[in-house]
Chain A
């Protein structure tokens, strides 16, 4: 493999799949659902090139339990799906959080609730950051906003999953999945198998203690210890990997907060801020669990108002309000069902919010 990184023009789905392979994923289990079918298609074609396993399961429930098994055996493993499919996986994900196992899950979010539609949405924010499933477990959640970031974040997710022994969720959407952009590919280096002393697998009798993977803890204190360990993981992740990006005025009157495809629209709004006559800055989280609470709190003391833009009736906005704790007004521009605000819509709302805040 040459040192020079190859720049290609590919879809978000393809960039995600190749990111998985570059990140050392050698086991992929999945079940088809629009708008992410290009990912399993890519994996079916390219996993054999690296000696990896691609397997189409009979359902999402089967796929996530295959992921559970492969992770228990020490494999770098991933699955990808879209909203209704991720709902079906909740039980398996919760069990993996209980068993303290790493895996990478990609959700190319589509409209909901229910079977919804196949258009763009960001209404699985709670599903990703509050779950998975029942119990106190949480998924480390990354929010890419370009084809390049889908690639880079997916590759990095395997390292994070191993570092925290936890599920890492890539929260994409139907547009990021299907749009095409230039992408500089991470080389497919041979990843050394991760050192997982807890993994099950063949070993010489007596060479080590027997490993047991389990998420059933009848003893109160043992069950509580699992939860305490998980909380420690999340606290470490918050200190080590919370990431965000900012763009725009150094002296903003209104701060825009958005992630994923909404952050792209907001970036367009910042580029045209003079049309609104309002000094604008965008803060976009690259991780939403852990959440960039500190920078949002700092800005809330310096701006007249915060406008959250998301493709949902208001999920991400709750975390922003928790960070702001009433220091400034937080308004929402939310669309659903596949509809997206235009840059002009964002600027019109900015004017409103600025006027209301008197800035």
Chain B
């Protein structure tokens, strides 16, 4: 198994932290993983990106030319990166912010209204969680339970009060992915 995941969004959207959570969850699930914060030197203008390689064998190169999956959080990132996904790859987009669905022939698309979900849950800081939930379920690399367990381990005790909201957002994303399967 080798999964090359590329994530991009605006600075401040928590792209890197979301990527670190996925990577940490992969480690906790007994997989090899690398988290790599630079995509290419032309990435500028507020975009924040990271590449996560998850493998049951050697990771080898921590970079990716044609990611198997992408999580794109804003319209600039969608325009810029969606075309680079591998054939048959999984594209998860935050449809709250990406009005124009990116063209990606041969890819599987999951549209997650992540901001609306976060608003319904009543915790706007859970935006990334529904996207991660959709990605995890869509790829089958991790379960949302894996992600929740690692999030709990990463969060300082005083933030554990936010776990139910985060778990709810993960589940909402997972449901959307399942409904498309």
Q: Is B149 an interface residue (CB 8 A)?
A: no
Count, chain A residues at interface, CB 8 A: 23
> Do the beta carbons of B20 and A342 come within 8 Å of each other?
no
Closest to A9 in B: B24
> Given A175-B36, A175-B38, do A180 and B20 touch, yes or no (CB 8 Å)?
yes
Write the nearest CB–CB distance from B48 to chain A, whole angstroms. 13
**Set A9, A268, A270: member contacting B27, Cβ < 8 A:** A9
> Do the beta carbons of B20 and A264 come within 8 Å of each other?
no
> Do the beta carbons of A264 and B33 come within 8 Å of each other?
no
A-side contacts of B164, CB under 8 Å:
none
> Do the beta carbons of B35 and A181 come within 8 Å of each other?
yes
B-side contacts of A342, CB under 8 Å:
63, 65
B-side contacts of A268, CB under 8 Å:
60-61, 63
13 contacts between A and B (CB under 8 A): A7-B27, A9-B33, A178-B37, A178-B38, A179-B36, A182-B32, A182-B33, A264-B59, A265-B63, A267-B61, A268-B60, A342-B65, A343-B60
Return the CB mask of A338-351 against B: 1 if under 8 Å, else 0. 11101110000000
Q: Which of B24, B32, B38 has the most CB of A within 10 A?
A: B38
Q: How far is the CA of A271 from the CA of B62 in the complex (A)?
A: 13
Q: Is A33 an interface residue (CB 8 A)?
A: no
> Do the beta carbons of B62 and A264 come within 8 Å of each other?
yes
> Do the beta carbons of A119 and B41 come within 8 Å of each other?
yes
Closest to A8 in B: B27
> Do the beta carbons of A181 and B41 come within 8 Å of each other?
no
Closest to B20 in A: A180
> Do the beta carbons of A267 and B58 come within 8 Å of each other?
yes
Write the nearest CB–CB distance from B40 to chain A, whole angstroms. 9
Q: How far is the CA of A271 from the CA of B23 in the complex (A)?
A: 22
Write the nearest CB–CB distance from B155 to chain A, whole angstroms. 14
Q: Give 9 closest A-B pairs by Cβ, nearest first.
A: A268-B61, A268-B60, A267-B60, A180-B35, A182-B27, A9-B24, A179-B36, A265-B61, A181-B34
B-side contacts of A265, CB under 8 Å:
61, 63
> Do the beta carbons of A180 and B34 come within 8 Å of each other?
yes
B-side contacts of A119, CB under 8 Å:
38, 41
Write the nearest CB–CB distance from B46 to chain A, whole angstroms. 18
Closest to A119 in B: B41
Write the nearest CB–CB distance from B63 to chain A, whole angstroms. 7
B residues 35-89 in Cβ contact with A at 8 Å: 35-38, 41, 58-63, 65
Q: How far is the CA of A338 from the CA of B34 in the complex (A)?
A: 19
Q: Which of B20, B27, B35, B60 has the most CB of A within 10 A?
A: B60
A-B contacts besides A9-B27, A180-B20, A342-B65, 20 pairs, CB < 8 Å: A9-B20, A9-B24, A119-B38, A175-B38, A175-B62, A178-B37, A179-B34, A179-B36, A180-B34, A180-B35, A182-B27, A182-B33, A264-B60, A267-B58, A268-B63, A271-B60, A338-B41, A339-B41, A343-B61, A343-B63
